[in-house]
Structure 1
Amino acid sequence: MQQRRAGRHIPGTAVIAGWPTGSVARVTEQPFVIVGGGLAGAKGAEALRDQGYDGPLVLIGDEPDRPYERPPLSKGYLLGNDERDSAFVHDAGWYAEHDVDLRLGATVVEIDTRTRTVVLDDGGTVRYAKLLLATGSSPRRLSIPGADAAGVHYLRRLPDSDAIKSTLASVRRLLVVGGGWIGLEVTAAARAAGVEVTIVEAQELPLLGPLGPELARVFADLHVEHGVTLRTGVGIERFTVDGDRVSGAVLADGSHIEADAVVVGVGAAPNLQLAAAAGLRVHSGVVTDARLQSSDPDIVVAGDIAEADHPLLGPGIRVEHWANALNQPAVAASTMLGGDAVYDELPYFYTDQYDLGMEFHGLVTPDNYDDVVYRGDVAAREFIAFWLREGKVVAGMNVNVWDVDGPIKALIRSGERVDVARLADTGVPLEEIAGG
């Protein structure tokens, strides 16, 4: 994947301790099967071949397009900076060249763990020796009056991005429901296209959950400065409709917003139905150990649905970040092949909005930090923010500051107390800060 901005570290699949090495002999005529045609599924197929598996391999996806990455859908492709083909994980010929039986437009409706069989929506079946489950997430949908009107959009798949891109070229006013990453990135693309935007966010600030109030304010101010109308602390009661097309919304406080189109970004729900019906252990996701093995020894999990034990962060970690879909499949493949690799990558995500580029490492929850330390110029939006708990760094976010991912991750992994004054001092190299 190409870097979006000079100096940004885009984590990629690398050799992990515990991977099987050398050629892996074909030990069964039953194929390894991957259910899920997104980034995690494609990377699972790639990892199996890279790690020496030369047996039959089936990749099943319910979309008509070959596997693609989702970040471009709300970033470069939506902005018009990247071509549509840039989203695809592999060239069209890669699957045949690597002897991957790619089955597109096929939906798995059942997993029979007793017979190790997946059942397709057309009645067909595929037996498996090992199964990688990577079914991803689906957008949470609103169930309010007018929600099914024309002009109400959700963003998850390539056709969704195509539809929103076309919409931004033809409307004057856009209503964005939800101030999460999708909502804010769509808003930035809309403003770049000259569209007036109103964001309605039920919480006090956009991004309050993933960043906390201190850094959420940075993004709220950013959008207001770019002409966005921000309505927070209020929900949507209903959409108004003119004919069959959305014309705006009535908020819970009784106010009305006029709009020519709506984009809803109120989160996503992991697709757990197959796993639950198959009897796998399910909580907020499919529960796995650090090797990404589920409660069934023949089924591994990767991507949005994986709720994994993490060697550093603890049990039950599930994050819906692109980097998990990119990197977890290598460990899942190792487990399928009998390796002992564990997934210990730190959660990572990034965004580009207007002239702000950001990378985030670690995990922030309302109760896992007690201090935020800034390093650099917050007003100019060129800084690093660190979240600390009892003097130890639990997460770091670099904003328009690049090539610092290594020391940020090292500080998080060290588990050591830091000297806060030195951490905030741009004159002290990050590599020298620890043990405060």
Structure 2
Amino acid sequence: MAEHVVIVGAGHAGGSVATYLRQYGYEGQVTLVGNESAPPYQRPPLSKGWLRSEITLDDLLLKPLATYEQAGIDLRLNSVVKEVETKEKRIILEDGETIDFDKLVFATGARPRRLTLPGSELRGVIYLRDVTDAALLRSCLDASKRIVVMGGGYVGLEVAATARQLGLEVMIVEREARLLSRSASPELAARLLRIHESNGVEFRFLGDVAEIVGSEGKVSGLRFNDGERIECDVILAGIGAQPNVALLEGTGIPEERGIRVDSEGRTSHPDVYAVGDVTLRPVANFEGIFTLESVPSAIEQAKRLSCLIAQRDFPPHELPWFWSQQYDFTLQIAGLPGLADEILVRDDVSKGTFLVFHLRNGALCAAECMNSPGEFLALKKAITHGARPDEVLLADLNTPIIKVLT
């Protein structure tokens, strides 16, 4: 009987594992189980083009639906996994059906962290993770004049930019003293703050919210602990994410802020693997373990795990990278900025570009690049090769980046 790989979670990571398995020549059974009604799709556009009604669900799909049937992938949509039994090597669906596996892949992703404030159950308090959330947010924006975004992370900033482009008044409420306190340099955060302020976004930092207030079951505003009240029609809660690890209960597989895996996706169980936002993983050439909530990270993990299962040679390790689009500014980040012990900035106002270089012990470990696609590619390659550039030239606007790095 052919070996059976079952993938729990039909997002970008899970969908990529299924299709890469076939691309790499795996001939066993492949079953992809997802709890949504749509085939695997891209999530990053949900905060941008989708909200502006510029793209449809078909535009978001990773592959046309027919691709899965043609590839011999059993795609189970609208299917909720109730339990995983690693000893019996089977999963149990909510409707009672069981599916046996030889190898199991967790690609369950993460879910938005929920507000616990009084009033957080009111209509108009929205989280953004999937296309259903995005459709609700879009309909609310169409009927609203003012939105409050709780949380100054990338998703919140992208939604704020989109809402301003749609003509809404926007306020961002952030508990910390600055934007992106856990994911970007203070220099980049300050630049993004100025960009949003120039586009009319209001900010409230160190905003300690006491409650969300409403009328007739719907949001009408929020109140801070100091008594100040802010009026709004809708609230987007973007206060972080939590890994979906509930199915690990009873499996014997430990979880600590996610499922810990090695660089090929192996867990502590010899026939169970994990990929995507649910994982804690090592990154080549960086010390520690990380949760990397990004499409490039999910794709890299999917490729390496698929090679492992299909018994093919592994591709080279990839440098982590991330991106964001806000207004007409494209932000690209290569490497892991939080590990630097020195930061240099190159700010070219005439070209509208902004570069932040992160060095550790003299070597480039990350770069934050705004509207600088060519420099981003050069820096990404340089970080991969452990470049140790001349720091004076690195910050010098008159010296081309490519010359500094060669």
- Tell me the TM-score normalised to structure 1 length: 0.89
Asked if 1:410 corresponds to 2:377, the answer is no
Specify the code of the residue in structure 1 equivalent to 2:375.
V
Distance in 1, matches of 2:176 and 2:315, equals: 36
Which whole-Å CA distance do the structure 2 matches of 1:347 and 1:316 have between them? 13
Equivalent position amino acid for 1:132 in 2 = V
Looking at structure 1, the residues matched to 109 and 43 of structure 2 have their Cα atoms a distance apart, in angstroms, of 11
CA RMSD, aligned part only?
A: 1.8
2:122 is paired with a residue whose SS is: coil
Which residue matches 1:325?
298
Change (3 A) 1:426 1:276: farther
Partner of 1:127: 100
CA distance in 1, matches of 2:228, 2:349: 34
1:180 aligns with 2:180: no
**Cα deviation, residue 379, structure 1:** 8.0
Per-residue displacement from partner, 1:201-240 (whole Å, max 9, x unpaired)?
0011111211132211111111111111100012211001
Matches within 5 A, 1:297-376: 297-339=270-312, 341=314, 344-365=317-338, 368-376=339-347
Distance 1:408 1:246, change over 3 A: same
Match of 2:188 in 1: 215
Q: Which residue of 1 aligns with 2:112?
A: 139
Superposition deviation, residue 374 in structure 1? 1.9
Aligned to 2:176: 203
Go from structure 1 to structure 2 and tell me whether the alpha carbon gap of 1:378 and 1:118 turns closer, same or farther (over 3 Å shift): farther
Q: C-alpha separation between the residues in 1 aligned to 2:211 and 2:33?
A: 38
How far did residue 120 of structure 1 move?
A: 1.1
Aligned residues: 406
Runs of 4+ off more than 6 Å: none
| Most deviating of 125-134 and 305-314 | 305-314
Q: Give the AA of the match of 1:239.
A: I
- Alpha-carbon separation, structure 2, partners of 1:310 and 1:199: 32
DSSP 3-state at the match of 1:417:
coil
Task: Decide whether the 8 Å contact of 1:154 with 1:264 is kept in 2.
Answer: yes
Match for residue 400 of structure 1?
371
Question: Which residue of the other structure, out of 199, 202, 216, is the alignment partner of 1:243?
Answer: 216
Question: Corresponding residue for 2:38?
Answer: 65
Give, in whole Å, the separation in 2 of the partners of 1:341 and 1:309. Answer: 16
- Residue aligning to 1:428: 399
**Does the CA contact (< 8 Å) of 1:270 and 1:304 recur in 2?**
yes
Distance 2:42 2:313 in 1: 27
Matched residues in 1 for 2:232 and 2:283: separation?
44
Letter in 2 for 1:424: A
Question: Which of 242, 247, 250 pairs up with 1:277?
Answer: 250
Deviations for 1:173-206, whole angstroms, at most 9, x for unmatched residues? 1111111111111111110110001110001111
Q: Distance in 2 between matches of 1:370 and 1:142?
A: 34
In structure 2, the partner of 1:4 is none
Identity among equivalent pairs (%): 34
- Within 2, Cα distance between the matches of 1:329 and 1:110? 23
Alpha-carbon distance between aligned partners in 1 of 2:22 and 2:398, rounded to the nearest angstrom: 46
CA–CA distance in 2 between the matches of 1:83 and 1:419? 47
Once residues 431 and 197 of structure 1 are traced to their aligned partners in structure 2, the CA distance between those partners, rounded to angstroms, is 39
CA 94–257 in structure 1, closer or farther in 2 if over 3 Å, else same: same
Instruction: For 1:13-24, list aligned pairs within 5 A.
Output: none
Q: Give how far 1:334 is off.
A: 1.4
**Matched residues in 2 for 1:182 and 1:343: separation?**
30
Q: Is the contact made by 1:47 and 1:333 (CA closer than 8 Å) also made in structure 2?
A: yes
- Which residue in 2 is equivalent to 1:259? 232
Partner of 1:389: 360
Aligned to 1:6: none
Greater shift after overlay, 94-103 or 327-336? Answer: 327-336
Deviation track 1:59-99 (CA, whole Å, cap 9, x = no partner) reads 00011111111101112211233233211111121111111
Deviations 1:8-45 (A, max 9, x none): xxxxxxxxxxxxxxxxxxxx434211110101111111
- With over 3 angstroms needed to count, the CA separation of the structure-2 counterparts of 1:219 and 1:380, relative to structure 1, is farther
Using the alignment, how far apart are the partners of 1:252 and 1:30 within structure 2?
Answer: 58
Give the conservation status (yes or no) of the 8 Å contact 2:348–2:397. no
Q: Determine helix, strand or coil for the equivalent of 2:374.
A: coil
Indicate the residue corresponding to 1:22 in structure 2.
none
Query: Which residue identity is paired with 2:394?
Result: L
Q: Gapped runs of 5+ residues in structure 2?
A: none
Aligned AA for 1:389? R
Greater mean alpha carbon deviation, residues 73-82 or residues 57-66: 73-82
Gap runs ≥5 in structure 1: 1-27
Alignment of 1:11-50 (within 5 A): 28-50=1-23
Residue 262 of structure 1 aligns with an amino acid whose one-letter code is: I
Amino acid at match of 2:7: I
**Which secondary structure does the structure 2 equivalent of 1:404 belong to?**
helix
Deviation for aligned residue 1:290: 1.5
